Amino acid sequence: MKASYLAAKERWARKMAGTARPTVRSTDRLPPGQRLVDNFPVLDLGMQPEVTRDQWRLRLHGQVENPVTLDWNTFMALPTFRDTSDFHCVTTWSQFDMTWEGVAFLTLAELVRPRPSASHVFFRASDGYTTNARLDDLMDDDVLVAHSWNGQPLSREHGAPARVVVPKLYAWKGAKWVREMIFLDRDILGFWELRGYSNTADPWTDDRFMKEEPARVPSSGPGQKV
C-alpha cells in the first residue's frame, strides 16, 4: 500500500473520530486566479434531473472485487462522514468552508475493494454528465459522496440526492446526481475533459485547460463509451 494512501486514511480516521482539524493545502488559501464568493452558483448542462431517493441508485463496478449497487437505504446505512472544505470552480469562483455530509470515498472503496489494476474512476450522472479522476486523487481524507450541504439536504440544482465532492480539484470533477462509478485500469475522459479542460484540474497550479492539442469531441453523446 502506498504511503500517501496510509497518511490520507489516518487523517480521515481522525476526522471520523472528531479529533481532526480541517485539511490545509496551502498557506494562501485562495488559489491563483480565483475570487471568493459567498453565494453558491449553479453550473449544469442546462437540465437538472429530478431524482427521488426511491429512484436513486449508485452503481460501483469495474476493476473491483465486490461490485455493488447501493439504494438510498443501503447508502445511508454506511458510516456518515461530515467534512468542511473549500470549493473551487474553474470559472474563477471559490467558496470557503463548505460543510458536506455523506459517505467518504474511502468507505466506498473499502466496500468494493478496488483491484491493484484500478488506477482511475469514471463517473456518470443522471443528466448525462461524465467526469473522470485518478484513484489516488480520490483516496483522500476529504473526498465524499455528499447528500447534505451546510446542514441541509442537497437541493435539486446542486445534485440531489447525492453528488461527488473532490475539494482539491476544480469542481467539475465532482459529479452532481451521481449514479455510477466505474473503476478502470486506464483513463477515460469525461464531458469537460473532452472539451479542452485540463484532465488534472489542479486549482493550485492554475491548471484549467488542456495544454496539449484539444481532445476530439465525439459526435454523439457526452463522454466516451466505457
| Choice between 102 and 203, CB closer to Mo ion | 203
How many residues bind to Mo ion according to rule CB under 5 A?
4
Query: Per-residue string for binding with Mo ion, 84-103, x by CB under 5 A?
Result: -----xx-------------
Q: How far is CA 185 from the centre of its chain?
A: 18
Q: What three-state secondary structure class fits 15? A: helix
Partner in contact with 174, chosen from Mo ion, ligand MTE, none, beta carbon below 5 to 8 Å by kind: ligand MTE
Nearest approach in angstroms of CB 28 to ligand MTE is 21
Instruction: Output the smallest distance, CB 112 to ligand MTE, in A.
Output: 21
Q: Return residues touching ligand MTE (CB under 6 A).
A: 40-45, 89, 125, 127, 129, 158, 171-172, 174-177
Strands 144-149 and 120-125: unpaired
Whole-angstrom Cα distance, residue 126 to residue 108? 20
Q: Could you tell me the smallest distance in angstroms from the CB atom of residue 117 to ligand MTE? A: 27
Task: State which amino acid sits at residue 37.
Answer: V
Strand, coil or helix: what is 64?
strand
Spatial contact of 83 and 103, defined as CB atoms under 8 Å apart: no
d(CA 102, CA 79) in angstroms, rounded, equals: 8
One residue of 43, 47, 77, 217 binding Mo ion per CB under 5 A: 43
- Rounded to the nearest 10°, the torsion over CA 131, 38, 31, 35 is 110
HSE-up of residue 207 (Cα within 13 Å, Cβ side): 16
Three cell numbers at 66? 465486490
127 is in the binding site of which of ligand MTE, Mo ion, none (Cβ under 5 to 8 A by kind)?
A: ligand MTE
Compose the 160-199 pattern: x for residues touching Mo ion by CB under 5 A, - for all others. ------------x---------------------------
Minimum gap (Å) between residue 91 Cβ and Mo ion: 5
CB of 17 to ligand MTE, least distance (A): 29
Distances (CA, A) of 96 to 85, 86, 101, 124, 149: 7, 4, 16, 26, 13
Widest Cα–Cα separation across the chain = 50
Q: How far is the CB of 129 from ligand MTE (least distance, A)?
A: 3
Q: Which does 105 bind (CB under 5 to 8 A by kind): Mo ion, ligand MTE, none?
A: none
List residues near Mo ion by CB under 5 A. Answer: 43, 89-90, 172
